[in-house]
Chain A
Amino acid sequence: MKTRPNYFAGIGSFIWLLIVAIPLYVMLSGTFQTREEFGDNGPLSFPTSFTLQNYADAITSGFGRYFLNTVVVTVGVVAIVLLLVPPLSYAIVRSRSRAASFVFRFFLLGLAIPAQAVIVPVFYLINAVGLYDNLLGIILPTAAFALPICTLILSGTMRDITGELYEAMAMDGASPARAFFRLVLPLSKGGISTIAVFSALQAWNGFLFPLILTQSESTRVVTLGLFNFQTQYGINIPGLLAAVTLSMVPVLLVYLFARRALVQGLMGAGGK
């Protein structure tokens, strides 16, 4: 293999690193400065004082509640995904019925449907069943739109389980359900954690469904809270940055501890 370092690409990637990192630095350093200091010295300056007041402001302005709501939505979405996707992927990979391969194409088609295309009917539907301004009303469509990509990822994992393993189970005269719980689930742990992390990320960052399906403060999620905070207190930039930072913390923690699962999910999203 070639060993000569590629200086051109190296310099280019360093410039891009600055473009990614400087905004993140400004964000973080801004949150620890007072409004006066931030305004006087400018965003790029190194902080000379240290305050946690901005975080306190963000939390007292309602972010505690928004966090709780987002956690509820995220847990709900992940639960639905974990309940529905493994049996579906199992059927797609192993079923001999022609309907199963049709269903797979149906979900592939679903990948291409943008959420915007259906928000008016979804709004109508959620209103009709009385779930408007209810967290469950956010959970259901968000979970539905996470299904196609999660199915794609998990059926990819399940395809790697070899036929011999199923044959081995045949000795016990195992039913499809037994094969599912004894063989398929244990061997798909990696894929299952990928779809859990991936759907959690989608739920945590979701904006459109909460925007159109909720209105009151008591059902507001973090992303909407940020938008609201920005329109109301756009002048208090350190406070705003603290709120943005808080909204990112859980995701960054997941990234730190489940990087592999996340990266695989994202690669699966585009690499197929």
Chain B
Amino acid sequence: MTTLATRRQAGPGGSTTSRPARPGTSSVGRPGFAWALPATIFFALFALVPLAAVAVLSFTSWSGLGDPEFVGLENWETLIADPVMLKSLWLSLLFIVLGVVTQTPLSILLGVWAAGHQRNRAVLSAIYFIPLLLSSAAISVLWRALLDPNFGLPGQLPWLFGDGNLLGTQAGAIGVLIFVGMWQFTPFHTLIYQGAAKGIPPVLYQAASIDGAGMMRQFFSITLPQLRNTAITSIILMVVGGLTTFETVLILTNGGPGTDTTITAFYMYQEAFQSFDFGVGSAIALVLVVVATLISLVVVKVSGYDKMNSSLEGL
């Protein structure tokens, strides 16, 4: 499959760089900038230009028909006065915090365990990994069916689920969304912790053993500090992922009950594509980008990641 596909690009790839090779060794395998252009233009068109456009659109009124109309700060005034917007930001923050707090310890434990030498480890890791492959839509539909008050698990396990109408209360709905997020994303974070834990030099553990450090001590004094860089990457991904959670909210709770799980990303979709107020939708989208960038910067700053030169510092 790959060879076919790569061969197919022989035509266009060859023609863009048809200028003659300079004699001597310096030009060999030194492609010009032209090689990067097609991908760069394509990406700019669908990601960078829209990012600039969203800022412009946030000052316009557009219902999806005709052309956007400039309205100045109107959308921003609407948003600032909108209680649902403010609530959605708090909910997003709550989602992010709960997501990080539940997924991080679990994926560190599982990742470190999976990096070890236990029997059956490979088989278990293969099963852990499955949720990661499934679409958010499939996962949400699956959990919606599993949690159906009449035909799902709550009917069969009343001692665990109470009256079964989990999605009917705010706490229940948030709990379900956080749990499903955990079910879906822990495998990914486990995987990156597993990769990092495998990379910890064994000599550190050997030295610690000789010094008489027990397993707990080794975990807290060697494993955790060594996973620091990975943890930062993983947490940033969780923050951005939590902030942009969309399918699970749409399919499992539709933002409800009421607006009790309407996080900012979902509110943006509602304003733009259900109320057809694309100006306000764009303003919310811009808020999302700014918040995601700010939180990531704060995580990097607080952790001191930017001042570290190497993950092997101190060795």
For B126, the chain A residues whose CB sits under 8 A away are 259
How far apart are B20's CB and chain A's nearest CB, in angstroms? 7
Find A196's partner among B1, B13, B39 (CB 8 Å cutoff).
B1
Residue of A nearest to B280 (CB): A120
Is B110 a contact of A12 with CB atoms below 8 Å?
A: yes
Q: Is the CB of B145 within 8 A of A177?
A: no
In the complex, B71 has a CB within 8 A of chain A: no
B33–A113 contact, CB under 8 A? no
The answer for the CA separation of A53 and B16 in the assembled complex, in Å, is 54
A111 CA to B57 CA, complexed, in Å: 23
**Interfacial chain B residues near A152, Cβ < 8 Å:** none
A183 to B186 Cα, complex, angstroms: 39
Q: Specify which of A23, A193, A229, A234 lies most central, judged by the most chain B CB atoms within 10 Å of its CB.
A: A23
Is A207 in contact with B233, judged by CB distance below 8 angstroms? no
Judge whether B90 is part of the interface by a CB distance below 8 angstroms.
no
List residues of chain B with CB within 8 A of the CB of A207: 135-137, 246-247
Q: Are A12 and B30 in contact (CB under 8 A)?
A: no
Interface pair A20/B51, CB less than 8 Å apart: no
Chain B residues 1-54 with CB under 8 Å of chain A are 1-3, 5-6, 8-10, 12-14, 16-18, 20-21, 23-25, 27-33, 35-36, 38-40, 42-43, 45-51, 53-54
Closest partner residue, chain B, to A272 (CB atom): B233
Partner of B30, one of A24, A176, A192: A176
A55 on interface, CB distance cutoff 8 Å: no
Per-residue interface assignment for chain A, residues 114 to 139, with 1 indicating a CB less than 8 Å from any chain B CB and 0 otherwise? 11111111111101000000000000
Contact flags B122-150 to A (C-beta < 8 A → 1, else 0): 00101111111111111001111110101
Q: Do A117 and B285 have beta carbons less than 8 Å apart?
A: yes
Pair B151/A39 contact, Cβ less than 8 Å: yes
Instruction: Answer whether residue B225 sits at the interface, using C-beta atoms and an 8 A cutoff.
Output: no
Stretch in B76-84, B94-102, B202-210, B302-310 touching the partner: B202-210
A167, B21: Cβ atoms closer than 8 Å: no
B49's closest neighbor in chain A, by CB? A121
Are A248 and B151 neighbours in the complex by a CB distance under 8 Å? no
- Are B206 and A1 within 8 A (Cβ)? yes
Min Cβ gap A129→B in Å is 10
- Whether the pair A82, B196 counts as a contact (CB closer than 8 A) is no
Q: What is the bound-complex CA distance between A205 and B286, given in angstroms?
A: 25
Task: Report the bound CA distance from A144 to B48 in whole Å.
Answer: 10
Residues of B close to A79: CB separation below 8 A: 5, 8
Q: Do the beta carbons of A114 and B288 come within 8 Å of each other?
A: yes
Interface residues contributed by chain A, number (CB under 8 Å): 127
Most chain B CB within a 10 A radius of its CB, from A118, A122, A204: A118
Question: What distance in Å separates the Cβ of B247 from its nearest Cβ neighbour in chain A?
Answer: 5
Shortest distance between the CB of A148 and any CB in chain B (Å): 7
Q: Which residue of B lies closest to A98 (CB)?
A: B33
Q: A91-B36, A97-B32, A100-B33 are in contact. Are A226 and B138 (CB under 8 A)?
A: yes
Contact B9 A82 (CB under 8 A): yes
Q: Does A99 contact B (CB under 8 A)?
A: yes
CB of B161 within 8 A of chain A?
Answer: no
A23→B144 CA distance, assembly (Å): 11
Q: A103-B40, A145-B47 are in contact. Are A17 and B142 (CB under 8 A)?
A: no
Tell me which residues across on chain A come within 8 A of B156, comparing CB atoms: 42-45
Does B165 lie at the interface of the complex (its beta carbon under 8 Å from any beta carbon of A)?
Answer: no
1/0 per position for A226-247, CB-CB distance to B under 8 A?
Answer: 1101100011010011011001
Is A153 an interface residue, CB under 8 A from the partner?
no
Residue in B5, B62, B116, B196 with the greatest tally of chain A CB atoms within 10 Å: B5
The answer to whether B5 and A82 touch across the interface, beta carbons within 8 angstroms, is: yes
Measured CA separation A178–B148 after assembly (Å): 60
Per-position 1/0 for B82-116, Cβ under 8 A of A: 00000000000000000000000010011011101
| CB under 8 Å from chain A, chain B span 190-205 | 191-192, 195-196, 202, 205
Provide a sorted-by-A list of 28 A–B residue pairs whose CB atoms are within 8 angstroms: A4-B215, A9-B109, A13-B114, A26-B146, A27-B142, A79-B5, A86-B6, A91-B32, A103-B40, A120-B285, A122-B46, A125-B46, A127-B64, A166-B29, A173-B21, A177-B31, A178-B21, A205-B137, A207-B247, A224-B137, A227-B137, A230-B141, A237-B151, A240-B145, A241-B142, A266-B132, A266-B191, A270-B191
Chain B residues with CB under 8 Å of chain A are: 1-3, 5-6, 8-10, 12-14, 16-18, 20-21, 23-25, 27-33, 35-36, 38-40, 42-43, 45-51, 53-54, 57, 62, 64, 68, 106, 109-110, 112-114, 116-118, 124, 126-138, 141-146, 148, 150-153, 155-157, 183, 186-189, 191-192, 195-196, 202, 205-206, 209, 215, 218, 230, 233-234, 237, 240, 243-244, 246-247, 250-251, 265, 268-269, 272-273, 278, 281-282, 285-286, 288-289, 292-293, 296
The 4 closest A-B pairs by CB, nearest first: A144-B46, A205-B135, A121-B50, A42-B156
